[in-house]
Structure 1
Amino acid sequence: MMSGPAQKYVYTKLDQIKEGTVVNLYGVVKFFKVPYRSKGTDYCSTVTIMDQSNAKLTCTFFSGNQDTLPKIYSIGDIVRFHRIKITQFNSEFLGISSNGFSALVFEGTAGAPALPRTSSKTYSFTEEDHKIVESLRIWQMGQQTFSNLRLKLSDIKPEQYFNLICHLVGKAVLDKACYLLKVWDGSKCALPAWKVCVEEEALEGDADFLSLHQHLTVDVLVYDNHVEAAKSLKVGSYIVIQNLHAKLHNTCNENQAENSYLEFHLHGGTLYGRGITILPENDIDVQELQKVLTTVNLNEEPICSEDLTSHNRLSQKSPPFNALERCQQLSVTVLPTRQEWLTTPLSTVVKMKPPQKYRVRVRLRIFQPQHLYQSVKLHCTKCSSLQAVPDEERLDNILQGNYTNCPDTDAQNAYWYQSVKWKRNQENRTVTIHFMKKHDMLQIPQESLIMVEGGTFKEFCKLSRKFNSIIPVTCNQANLELDLSAPFLVQGNIWHYGCRNCSSLKSIEALSSLTLEGSWNATEIAKALGIKPLTYVFVMNLTLEDETGSLNAYLWRRAAEQFFQISASEIFMVNNLQEQLNVIMTTLCPPGKSIGEYPWMDCCIKSYHSCDGREEQNLYEIFDTLIS
């Protein structure tokens, strides 16, 4: 261990953190995502921690170098963060790195050596630190919150999602979107494991070892964003595969028990911490696994004739691997918490009296609206109204119209803001920017709230990349006012709107109350101005079909965001998200193909009764379903 000079640090309990502060923290990992590439060039890491106060904090870190992110391997790991900044997002605290940020990560097992994982060459670690780590280890032992679902292959049951620590003994490229990993942990699956047909020369690994251990190895198919990480793995590495799916497959229906086998899939995305982590050989879990592997006696578990017969039968009935064929055989959706539900035919669903909940296996015949940007609406939770989101042209007219009647006079300052004229010489136009003060002081752009008169849509987009928050305003006889036909707040890629029916607008001067206390978050700003915020929601109508019938089901609100794994509030401003939505819908409902070629979807749907004053009807809604 390398350590710097002893230094006394003060650590803050998670129930005592405050927005805008930079603190030092200790905590136990409750949830984490393996570092993944963000939309830009950086890697992103997300972790949620808890301590003895039972408060929790989610932290998000970005870095161009993956090795500098916290080296978290398992739920229950102990972390120490120095110089972490506390901000707020969606009314909850969020931790981000600040200047000088550093992280140490320790094994969560009580009594384990206090050897930190860190990229820092120097760090301080005192006897007091050791006591804190050990106290967190002991505390988390009795907390069910920190169960990490790490299982052995011998314990796996069909349709489980689990974490597997294993030894990588082979790998191969299948196609651009799929990669094969051959792994083992010294135990044997209760059911036969499906073997991928792959050319011998394409397989990297010791052929003799793989042949001798074939009854103990399993084939893991890695998809989409995880392919890059899988390619970089070295045969012989010890890895943890997070959120691995054990999929039950039947080769025929005549004798289910004899013809069932397990397939192992690491689906795309980062939901539920999905990903692959390489473990160092000095890790306690690796050392335990190595002991198990070295004691495996192949003579005690020979490849019996029954195993060989089963393996050969499966090999004969399974065609050579093709990614498109696999996509058609497997569902392209995942049910995170309802895997045990039996599938119900649609003909039965439509006959049953609501309310009911079902699992169905269907294809998507058609979806509405066909123009996907129209599927995002603004919803008021108070009056239940739905309205269209203004497009760029409409917003341009609204924002510039706010300045039409404003006299071109010198900008007037107030005690709580400072005004500046921004000359747009090419258009012979002026934009006025009012910089709000906090404690009578102007702030740096990244923390500033500004009010803008007369800017174009593109100018607001440009300003939102530099300033924390922007409020579009108009002037009326030298008084600043809001117009709820425009957004009341712009923050990055999110444009916040207010309900014109349910809001009771106050004077813009009400914002001055936030210059002493409070923060520039949408909730506090809306409250100060008397605005009832609207929320962005997906609203889609899907026609689902199976061999027995069809029905129309809605997909909207949180269930839709879960389904697409896309934020409805950002989709209008982020082209990549729009493209992602188009790709998903084209996959589910491919143009130019017959319905028999469409992929299958496992979905949870619920029925309910509706009466809109004209007629009574049974409606259906998709829930707890996501694209894999």
Structure 2
Amino acid sequence: MEEFDIAKADESKTVKSKVKFTLIAFFNVKGIVHCKVLPQDQTINQRTVQCARRDFCSILKITDQSNQNITCNIFREKLEDHPKIFQIGDIVRMHRVKAQVFKDTISLVNAFGFSVVTFDGTVGGAVEPRTSSSYFHFDQEDRQRVEELRSWASSQALLPPVSASIPLSAVQPRSYFDLTCQVLAKAPIDSTCILLRVWDGTRCPHPLLKVVVEPNVTEGPSSFSREKENLIANILVYDNHVDCARQLKPGAFLRIYNLRVIPGSSRVPGLSSSQSVEGDHLAFYLHGGTSFGRGIRVLPENCPDVQELKRVMEAFSEDDELSDLDDSALLEVWSTPPETADGEAVQCSTERSCSHDMQLGTLSELKQCELGRVHHVRAQLRSYEPRRLYQALKLYCSKCTSMQEIPDDDLVRGIFSEASSDSEPFSAPPWALSGQVNLATNSPGTPDRALRVHLSTELMAEGKTKELIFLMGATLEETCQLAAGYQNIVPVRSSGGQMTLLDLSAPFLFRGRKRYYGCKRCSEAAVREPSAEGVEVIDEKIVAEALGVQLLQFVLLMKLELQDATDTLEVFLWRHAESFFNVSAEDAAASEEAQNSICQTMESLCPAGGSMGQRPWLDVCLTAYRVEDDGGRNQTCYQICHTTVIKPPSTQSDPDPA
């Protein structure tokens, strides 16, 4: 197989015949994805369309140092087998293509055994192959050829001086552009249109159109904080692009090509009857067809453009995390009467772990400052709520940003009792091996209780029998008793002739003394076999992913009242609570030692019945932000951040996570 020089193609066009196509030899080709001038636009000359025989066809135009252009038609059944072209100037290496002549024009077509690898065409960029195949040859000669093509392309007037990809902050009405973004949510509008809610961490200078859809048809969060909503663009995807959009998952990074910006909402689907026409609001359309390279491309996490996108998003994320608190329920959970914590008090202090270079301020000065800034203060703890630790523990969903109470044992016990009394027949999954375990009873003379279990055949084959069991018919107490002997226990029941998980108000997983919960709103729960391939330890994240459960995170949420010589101030302790106490919320939910550590810390910072003179002065880092309460009124809130409690060495201990 010889390397194909694009210039040699013209020399081979000597065969003239009445036959419409003339097949020539097989070649390997390296070239640069080129662009051509088209009416109203310049774009990558790659189009992917679906053919009558259900194959997808990509159409590329490439060039090399010969300054000859050649068209490549690539037919593949799966989209992932097509070239991963991200932008004009990418370098493509194709293995086993055949040349053909049609109307005196030569083109290349993939042949049997075809494979393709693409590279970033930027000089100095990493030479990392993009391919869906795990089997490809790439040696030093290939690397040298890529660098040669990069250097040559940078010296030519091949590439547009400005990328067609622009951020939302630079969007102008009545224009076409490429957008690199992240999907936050999606929802079907009708059979020919789907809504994508995306952002890139920047804010469009023009008002954007709001498209109303039902929350129950939305995949991903149905609402966001007010600050984040201002950064979200609603994109309406039409016709042949709908299938691709349906396969996208919230969180995916995309480049959308040839996106159209149109002012006005009169033609936009998904508007409520009460929503007026907003003539100055911008709507984003991805029209049907593949002209001008129009389409959607999923970008990998290691793509340089994605890394830059993440950097921009991270600049917004900290402020947005604070705005997640604009749930009025979080502002109204403080009604527990004081209760003295058990245990001997210890002397504590705090230190700031941030790198902010600023002078100490007073609480009264802080209240007069602008929002969004970080402040350093020195104050004492006057009071805190709640006094009972179990009321400070919450369950938080990072996907829909909801926060909920940890279900009490009476509720969980009732769910287990109902499930254990259900004897409906069912079919075990084909991958499950059924058996039973005997559990000793506390009553003398009473025989052991046999509980039904289901094991993964894959895990058994790898000698990991005790690493995961699906337990059926057990009470809450029996499940906790068995959890000491198995690393992961998933309670299940029979429903509709199938094995299903319990209601997600109950824990979906037991790991020792720890219990794990799932979000009802964001989970698509089903009993599936976790894959153990390449996995050393099966943990809660692997189990949750296999079961389609959105894992809820344990968090600590407290309200503290600070005081100095000038004023008092109520602040929240949430996002940085774990680093503040040097204890994880997950450990605090299961370990008595971790619970005692937090109680002793708070008792030291704010002794019950003690005078203010007995309380230590704390160096605290605070940030201010604004939320909206149930009445629509703005409210300024403050949160402790980058602050850690320092205990005397003799009182420090590692909480037992078990």
Q: TM-score, normalised by structure 1?
A: 0.44
> Larger Cα Rg: Structure 1 or Structure 2?
2
